[in-house]
Amino acid sequence: MKFFIDTANTSQIQELVAYNIISGVTTNPSLMAKEGISGTEDCHQRYVDICKLVDGPVSAEVISTDCEGMLAEAYDLAELHPNIVIKIPMIKEGIKAIYELNKKGIKTNCTLIFSANQALLAAKAGATYVSPFIGRLDDINIDGMELIKSIRTIFDNYNFDTNILAASIRHEEHVIKCAEYGADYATVPYSLLDKLFDHPLTTKGLEIFLADHAKLNP
């Protein structure tokens, strides 16, 4: 399983690129707003800045909810950089847009997936990625990880090329289960990725090793 970082913060991306652990970036309007970025021109510039930092897919989300509007935005976004992936919401007009973009060879990420049926429709339309939101399912007492398992089974049954990009990942157990259940990618916020480096026994063990070394090497 590969990692994407879910952020619009270039400093966070730059830091993690140095460890060679992220393969791409996902963004959304909320993450842009969190960085104080507004307006089409500034958003486009941030996408370009991100593409310069990471050699991999960068999801850029459309705002329109009608197919014509989505396509107009998508064509503009796709011109920014070859690594741009167009993030399209899982609505009827979105599926239509995904189909049209796929015919033109433009990669898409179908977002806000909450059921296997939605993932199946997106794959049929030719989505490059589907993004099931597992944390938000957990919020309403539905096991989000079961959705990952179900989509994996369906995609394998019918040899879909669409990648499973697990999203709305809240904690370390989500990461582990995504890897176990066959998600192709997981997009994870910086704060959670940073936690994956640590374990209390690693910290304790290193302290013991260094203390033992210091005893013999004053």
Catalytic: 87? Answer: yes
How many Å apart are CA 132 and CA 24, to the nearest integer? 17
- Joined tokens for residue 147: 């959705």
Q: Number of C-alpha atoms within 13 angstroms, CB side, residue 84?
A: 24
Selected catalytic residue, list 52, 87, 92, 107: 87
Residue environment code for 141-171, b if the CB has 16+ CB neighbours within 10 A, otherwise e: eeebbebbbbbbeebeeeebebbbbbbbbbe
How many Å apart are CA 52 and CA 70, to the nearest integer? 25
How many Å apart are CA 135 and CA 129, to the nearest integer? 18
Neighbouring residues of 82: CB distance < 8 A, sequence distance ≥ 6: none
Residues constituting the chain: 218
Measured on CA atoms in the order 189, 140, 156, 94, is the torsion positive or negative? negative
- Active-site residue list: 87
